[in-house]
């Protein structure tokens, strides 16, 4: 089974080579048939030149493509158009694969009898970074419509990470492209991966987290202000998803009501009960969700 590994990058000339090194090492360790697809999403630094220089000594096929439309969803779609593999994996330019990653990935997908979007463990690359954008559960977890998982727990951003996301090409053929109104680089700075999981769930495709398939994330966020900014982006994106799914599947949006109730409690008791160390409260969370709702409806209107 040929594997296409897609990395979308923007102005990361300084970081992309270690990411590519780790991918080449993981593919070699598995002895897998694979290609690397790098999508330069309108970088203004030397990212493309760095990738071209790196590719000269790589035994794998490296396809560097350029996507002028800014936004991670647009870049992901560009990568999908360029990829030729039956199995597609996305990672980020500030991530590095564990040596066993490709072995683990192929072991799972070779045994699948139904379609699934699968992701694995995400650990900090630098222990000095804040414990953000990681997932280190030790148990295998599966969310699917047959078990009505979303009616009992929140799925969305609780499932797997966009920097560690794999699926067979049939999933893409079923679901289509990523929503280009969402994602880093747009007015709604995230959520394109979560939207894909929600669409998969509603289409009867499972989402699965496994405790191996490990990626190390060198995200570089070390200050409370960095965490505050990231939480703002996440909650604006969540609001956009509430707007998108409110009438399609309202049970996916129940967290918004929970946050409203918790916001009122904070106002009454003059407390921050969410993330006080990062100066981010439930009131902030609810406020930015509302902003995301308005941003999404605006994006829909201007697209008409």
Would you give the DSSP letter of residue 62? E
Q: How far is CA 296 from CA 15, 196, 239, in A?
A: 32, 16, 8
CA dist 21 and 19 (Å) reads 5
The pLDDT-based confidence of 156 (bands split at 50, 70, 90) is low
How many CB atoms lie under 10 A from the CB of residue 112? 12
Give the chain's domains with CATH numbers: 3-217 (3.90.550.10), 224-303 (no CATH)
Would you give the DSSP letter of residue 135? B
**pLDDT tens per residue across span 190-208:** 999 999 999 999 999 999 9
Query: Can you give the pLDDT at residue 185?
Result: 95
CA dist 68 and 233 (Å) reads 22
Query: Can you give the pLDDT at residue 150?
Result: 75
Residues 6+ apart with CB under 8 A from 177: 73, 77, 80
Q: Are strands 95-97 and 215-217 parallel, antiparallel or unpaired?
A: antiparallel
Q: State the alpha helices, DSSP H only, in 1-128.
A: 16-30, 47-55, 72-82, 101-109
**pLDDT tens per residue across span 113-152:** 999 999 999 999 999 999 999 999 999 999 998 887 777 6
Question: Is the predicted pLDDT of residue 189 greater than 80, yes or no?
Answer: yes
Question: Is the predicted pLDDT of residue 161 greater than 80, yes or no?
Answer: yes
State the Cα angle at 129 between 88 and 36, rounded to 5°. 20
CA dist 259 and 289 (Å) reads 9
Query: Can you give the pLDDT at residue 240?
Result: 96
CA dist 20 and 16 (Å) reads 6
Tell me the average pLDDT across 158-164: 92
Q: Are strands 206-209 and 116-119 parallel, antiparallel or unpaired?
A: parallel
Query: Can you give the pLDDT at residue 147?
Result: 82
Strands (E), the chain: 3-9, 34-40, 62-66, 87-92, 95-97, 116-119, 122-124, 141-143, 165-168, 206-209, 215-217
Q: Is 134 left (phi over 0), alpha (psi -120 to 50) or beta?
A: beta
Share of the chain above pLDDT 70, in %: 98
Question: Is the predicted pLDDT of residue 279 greater than 70, yes or no?
Answer: yes
Q: Would you call 223 helix, strand, or coil by DSSP? A: coil
Tell me the average pLDDT across 78-85: 98
- Taking the CA atoms of residue 106, residue 191, residue 10 and residue 85 in that order, the dihedral angle to the nearest 10 degrees is 30
The pLDDT-based confidence of 1 (bands split at 50, 70, 90) is confident
How many CB atoms lie under 10 A from the CB of residue 11? 16
CA dist 60 and 66 (Å) reads 19
Query: Can you give the pLDDT at residue 155?
Result: 65
Q: What is the DSSP string of 231-252?
A: HHHHHHHHHHHHHHHTTT-GGG
Query: Can you give the pLDDT at residue 16?
Result: 97
Q: Which of 116-120, 247-251, 271-275 has the lowest mean pLDDT?
A: 247-251
In whole numbers, what is the pLDDT of the chain averaged over residues?
95
R_g (Cα) of the chain, nearest Å: 19
Query: Can you give the pLDDT at residue 154?
Result: 64
Phi, psi of 267 (to 5 degrees): -65, -45
């Amino acid at each position: 089974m040929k594997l296409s590994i897609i990395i979308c990058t923007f102005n990361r000339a300084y970081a992309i080579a270690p990411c590519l090194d780790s991918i080449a090492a993981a593919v070699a360790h598995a002895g897998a048939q694979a290609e690397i697809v790098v999508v330069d999403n309108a970088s203004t630094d030397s990212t493309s030149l760095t990738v071209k220089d790196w590719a000269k000594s790589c035994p794998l096929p490296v396809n560097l493509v350029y996507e002028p439309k800014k936004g991670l969803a647009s870049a992901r779609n560009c990568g999908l158009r360029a990829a030729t593999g039956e199995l597609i994996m996305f990672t980020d330019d500030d991530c590095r694969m564990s040596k066993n990653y490709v072995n683990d990935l192929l072991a799972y997908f070779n045994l699948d009898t139904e379609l699934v979007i699968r992701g694995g463990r995400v650990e900090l690359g630098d222990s000095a970074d804040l414990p953000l954008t990681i997932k280190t559960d030790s148990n295998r977890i599966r969310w699917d419509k047959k078990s009505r998982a979303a009616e009992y727990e929140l799925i969305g951003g609780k499932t797997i990470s966009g920097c560690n996301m794999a699926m067979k090409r049939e999933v893409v053929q079923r679901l289509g492209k990523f929503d280009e109104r969402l994602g880093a680089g747009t007015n709604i700075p995230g959520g394109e991966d979560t939207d894909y999981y929600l669409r998969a769930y509603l289409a009867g495709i499972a989402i699965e987290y496994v405790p191996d398939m490990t990626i190390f994330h060198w995200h570089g966020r070390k200050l409370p202000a960095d965490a505050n900014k990231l939480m703002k982006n996440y909650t604006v994106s969540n609001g956009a998803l509430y707007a998108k799914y409110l009438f399609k599947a309202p049970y996916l949006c129940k967290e918004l009501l929970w946050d409203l109730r918790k916001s009122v409690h904070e106002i009454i008791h003059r407390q921050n009960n969410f993330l006080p160390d990062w100066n981010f409260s439930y009131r902030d969370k609810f406020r930015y969700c509302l902003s995301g709702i308005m941003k999404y409806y605006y994006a829909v209107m201007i697209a008409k």
